Chain A
Amino acid sequence: MSGLIISPELCRGCALCISACAAGALSVRDGKAVADPALCTLCGICAQSCIFGAITVQKSDSTEKAPDSSGVWVFCEQAAGRFLPVTYELIGKGRALAQNLAVPLTAVAAGYGLYGEAGSLSAAGADRVLLCDAAHLASRSEGPYADALYVLIEARRPDIFLFGATEFGRSLAPRLAARCRTGLTADCTALETDPESGLLYQTRPAFGGNLMATIVTRNARPQMVTVRPGVFATPAAASGAEAIIEVIKPPETPDFIRLIESQPLQKGFSIADADVIISVGRGIGSKKNLGLVYKLAELIGASVGVSRPLVDMGWCDYTHQIGQTGLSVSPKLLLACGISGAIQHLAGIGGAGTVVAINSDPDAQIFSVADYRLVGDCTEILSALIDAVSKNTEE
């Protein structure tokens, strides 16, 4: 029987757990914390908030331990016959995980006519390549792809399966995870394996706030995760034997979604491609002040990125959003203006070379990841920079 357990011996009735609970399920009675089972959602935040370790969320694991399995798999997403950069990033990370567990790394691709590209998967570090090659898989579609991958998973039982958290990946992976009745953790920022238990420790921002959570899928298999592009580095070419390439032709399964028309968007340059990015947060003060940022960006040849609150407030559109639910960027230089440094935003800038943080709050979290720290008003500093750069160009 599982549930919330509060130890009366350890509980001091300090009520810290009560302020953490979003459901109002906790109260103090006779000097001890008690939970109302009708309100408690077993989210576990109270257990994390108790400084006396008096609260635990007890889970009785009724699932059976999965049988032995065949190593680390990476889903190699392709578009128009070319593999996406995130595919190589995950092969690089997958290789490290596989080596740690002493199991093979298999790159699993689905598409049509991909054989010519398979060599690049081997070069990135795959021990094996599984190509699902069929005309009906030429363009990405969740239904046929889930059908093809599920058959492979059932037959070969991978231990771990990594997916890029692209739009397609974030739609395909959960469908497949549900079919396998296994666990899936989205948007992981760190992955580690424990060779003894074979468990994959999956870390991501959590509780909607400035906390990180580490999650495991203890028994169900495969242990599935999605990882955003740009979180892991593109690997250098791997040394070692060429991968064993296997081509499979999955039978066609019905697709209930039909593409009628696709209109390419006038996208052009993405801020993720820029060498220098100025990222802006609420500290900029107003939508009007964003004009300073755009001006400076134009003068120094930088792109502009924003934190999520600015998009939510309608000051800027989503294509400029940097963070866990936006873009991951890895510019040579990132100027963070008026950014507090919430974890979801930091998740998008991990790849930045040099970070300059400008914020009027000396305790802002952004400073913990900054190479250069400037405590001050960002609009003043931006104006001063604009003046200086304009003057330099005049001279």
Chain B
Amino acid sequence: MKIAVCIKQVPSTNKVRMDPVTNTIIRDAKDAVINPYDLFALELAITLRERYGAYVTAFSMGIPATENLLRDAVARGIDCAVLLTDRAFAGADTLATSYTLAKGIASEGKFDLILCGRMAIDGDTAQIGPELAEALGIPHVSGVTEIISLSDRKAVAVRVTDSASETLEAELPALFTVQKDINIPRMPSIAGIRKSLTAGFTLKNAADIGADPRRLGLDGSPTQVVRTFVPQADKVSETIAGTAAQKTARLLEIIGEAKK
């Protein structure tokens, strides 16, 4: 039983602001962390490894420094890690990224189950999971909260939708994207950290994974950002001021109006 987990490096904070004076973008911190949703996928993979003796490989597409994240994943208990890194991957939208991940995973053999976090907190699109499943030609389930059982050919999982809790059976190989807060990600153990310091990582570039260069990176991305801006709102607001009693009275008036 081989399980692949996809993890993404994201900025530790989403606090990107526009400086009102210079109208420029300021980011408050530069630390990179594992995308929180992927941590839950990682923990799920390690739990399955313990329960079923599965072999777990982590994959990430990123800059060379992403190796640190993969070492962190090894320290938490996965078996090995592959970093897909190449200048040609830069600027990829979700289509080019999912293509790259698919070629990378395929280059490492056949996997029974692929796990991904449901979405990345910097992109928020939740598109990679389904697009990756399509690129690999396998079925997918989004928003899994629990895996009840795993065998060579099938997996039984639970996902919670708006209206119901569904128990589904998927034929393997399949891809699941996992919701957050479904488990408590374990911390790296001392033994794990020691192992991660000397663990070998596989670094693969575009040629190693046999990727078609036209489908990579910026050129392989059908979508393109043409403009970023701070939205200008033109609402004219009435200020509520005065004594505490006056403010309260005005608020009650407004509430009363709405309840009519």
Which positions in A face B, CB cutoff 8 Å? 2-3, 16, 19-24, 37-45, 48-51, 57, 59-63, 79, 142-143, 146, 166-167, 170-175, 177-179, 181-187, 201, 205-220, 255-265, 267, 275-276, 300-301, 324-325, 332-333, 335, 343-344, 346, 353-354, 356-357, 367-376, 380-381, 384-385, 388-389, 392
Q: Is the CB of A368 within 8 A of B235?
A: yes
Partner of B98, one of A167, A178, A208: A178
Q: Is the CB of B24 within 8 A of A16?
A: yes
Query: Is residue B182 contacting chain A, with contact meaning CB distance below 8 A?
Result: no
Q: Is the CB of B90 within 8 A of A41?
A: yes
Q: A50 to chain B: which residues have CB within 8 Å?
A: 24
Contact of A370 with B30 at beta-carbon distance under 8 Å, contacts A42-B90, A208-B14 already known: no
Q: Is the CB of B95 within 8 A of A178?
A: yes
Query: Is residue B167 contacting chain A, with contact meaning CB distance below 8 A?
Result: yes
Query: Is residue B197 contacting chain A, with contact meaning CB distance below 8 A?
Result: no
Q: Is the CB of A353 within 8 A of B258?
A: yes
Q: Is the CB of A206 within 8 A of B91?
A: no
Q: Is the CB of B142 within 8 A of A171?
A: yes
Which 6 pairs across A and B sit closest by C-beta, in order of nearness? Answer: A209-B16, A42-B91, A208-B14, A333-B258, A183-B222, A183-B223
Contact of A260 with B165 at beta-carbon distance under 8 Å, contacts A174-B130, A213-B225, A369-B235 already known: no
Interface residues of chain B: helix, strand, loop or mixed (majority): mixed
Q: A24 to chain B: which residues have CB within 8 Å?
A: 30
Contact of A265 with B63 at beta-carbon distance under 8 Å, contacts A40-B90, A42-B218, A370-B237 already known: no
Could you show 21 A-B contacts with beta carbons less than 8 Å apart? A38-B63, A45-B16, A45-B27, A63-B222, A166-B162, A170-B127, A179-B134, A206-B228, A207-B25, A212-B228, A258-B168, A259-B168, A265-B165, A333-B257, A333-B258, A372-B237, A373-B238, A374-B251, A376-B247, A381-B247, A384-B244
Partner of B222, one of A182, A346, A368: A182
Q: Is the CB of A214 within 8 A of B225?
A: yes
Q: Is the CB of B63 within 8 A of A343?
A: no
Query: Is residue B15 contacting chain A, with contact meaning CB distance below 8 A?
Result: yes
Q: Which of A21, A207, A219, A370 has most B Cβ within 10 Å?
A: A207
Contact with A along B110-138 (1 / 0, CB 8 A): 00000000010111111111110111001
Contact of A59 with B259 at beta-carbon distance under 8 Å, contacts A174-B94, A373-B238 already known: no
The residue on A at minimum CB distance from B255 is A300
CA distance A45 to B27 in the complex (A): 10
Contact with A along B230-260 (1 / 0, CB 8 A): 1111010111110011011111101101110
Q: Is the CB of A372 within 8 A of B254?
A: yes
Q: Is the CB of A51 within 8 A of B251?
A: no
CA distance A320 to B194 in the complex (A): 43
Instruction: Output the least CB separation between A10 and chain B (Å).
Output: 15
Partner of A51, one of B22, B161, B244, B249: B22
Query: Is residue B193 contacting chain A, with contact meaning CB distance below 8 A?
Result: no
CA distance A340 to B27 in the complex (A): 18
Contact of A41 with B140 at beta-carbon distance under 8 Å, contacts A258-B168, A374-B240 already known: no
Q: A385 to chain B: which residues have CB within 8 Å?
A: 248, 251-252
Q: Is the CB of B228 within 8 A of A388?
A: no
Q: Is the CB of B230 within 8 A of A324?
A: no
Q: Is the CB of B139 within 8 A of A38?
A: no
Contact of A257 with B164 at beta-carbon distance under 8 Å, contacts A369-B235, A373-B240 already known: no
Query: Is residue B169 contacting chain A, with contact meaning CB distance below 8 A?
Result: yes
Instruction: Output the least CB separation between B6 and chain A (Å).
Output: 14
Query: Is residue B186 contacting chain A, with contact meaning CB distance below 8 A?
Result: no
Contact with A along B159-188 (1 / 0, CB 8 A): 011111111111100100000000000000
CA distance A371 to B236 in the complex (A): 7
Q: Is the CB of A2 within 8 A of B219?
A: yes
Q: A263 to chain B: which residues have CB within 8 Å?
A: 164-166
CA distance A332 to B259 in the complex (A): 8
CA distance A258 to B139 in the complex (A): 11
Partner of A142, one of B26, B127, B135, B140: B140
